[in-house]
Amino acid sequence: MTFKPVYIETSRRGLLRERIRLARDILTECRLCPRECKVNRMEDESGICKTGRRAVVSSYSPHFGEESPLVGFRGSGTIFFTHCNLLCNFCQNYDISHEGRGEEVSETILAEMMIHLQDIGCHNINFVTPSHVVPQILTALEIAIGKGLQVPLVYNTSGYDKVEVLRMLDGIVDIFMPDFKFWDPGISKETCNAPDYPEVARQAIKEMHRQVGDLKVDNLGIALRGVLVRHLVMPYGIAGTKEIMNFLSKEISSGTYVNIMPQYRPCGNAWQDSKLARSLTPGEYHEALEIAKKEGISRLDDRN
């Protein structure tokens, strides 16, 4: 049986149009993310994410550096959105997330990007840093469906997402790919000015898993539907790897697909903090892998 993305049926039933209306209403006094800036983004006012009525895109292309089930053999069709609602001080895309490198695009152009990535063979459309532009994505999706879009959608997020907004994506997104960055509210306050991040991420990942379950792949290993969690290992163990892996194994699923990432290096303003001012060591990374296995996580991405 040929796989069909879940948004096709949602659109056919007329539910996508209602989700668009609800999402755009939120922008008039923006409460789209946990920051709840309450600015009128429909009038191009901007808050923490520095984004008004239109989304800003820094780039779009096939990406071969993503997780194995996303990349396959034709690449993941990534659309990198500019700005961010979390703003980690060590961000490796600092020029995009903090400094705003990118160009405003209409929903029609955003839809054309999706179709182009599908037409050149990408296995999926991978929205990178989408939390602050959900209404724009939904609007563009309706246009793209009319143009023949039929590959899975990936919601590639920091994990700083409100459950009520994620519920608007039920029946829209096939693959959720959240980060779970920190367990300690003190660390998330220091690095992102978001002490609520750990609790927000826990509730967000629970909702994502409720919608799509464990990651499912086809006979070639290409992701079709489910949750894939990323965890960046940090120097001195400050990310809380043990606690996060225990949470994923015990409260989400022992079948959770996890990418334990070793690529931390000081970027952005990380040099100002002694805990962040050096790169990860091989020993710290391998220790994190062992921790994940001991806590019951066995589906680990093999690209690293």
Indicate which CATH number applies to the domain containing 98. Answer: 3.20.20.70
Q: What is the pTM of this model?
A: 0.96
pLDDT at 304: 58
pLDDT at 62: 97
User: Do 230 and 288 meet the contact criterion of CB atoms below 8 Å apart?
Assistant: no
Short-list 264, 260, 259, 303, CA closest to 280: 264
Segments of the chain scoring below 50 in pLDDT: none
pLDDT at 2: 79
Tell me if 152 is assigned to some domain: yes
Domain count, the chain: 1
pLDDT at 3: 87
Largest CA distance in the chain: 54
For residue range 223-261, what is the model confidence (pLDDT) as tens digits? Answer: 999 999 999 999 999 999 999 999 999 999 999 999 999
pLDDT at 251: 98
The amino acid present at 226, given as its one-letter code, is G
For residue range 7-27, what is the model confidence (pLDDT) as tens digits? Answer: 999 999 999 999 999 999 999
Tell me if 278 is assigned to some domain: yes
Range of the domain at 21: 6-300
Tell me if 257 is assigned to some domain: yes
pLDDT at 190: 96
The amino acid present at 32, given as its one-letter code, is L
Tell me if 1 is assigned to some domain: no
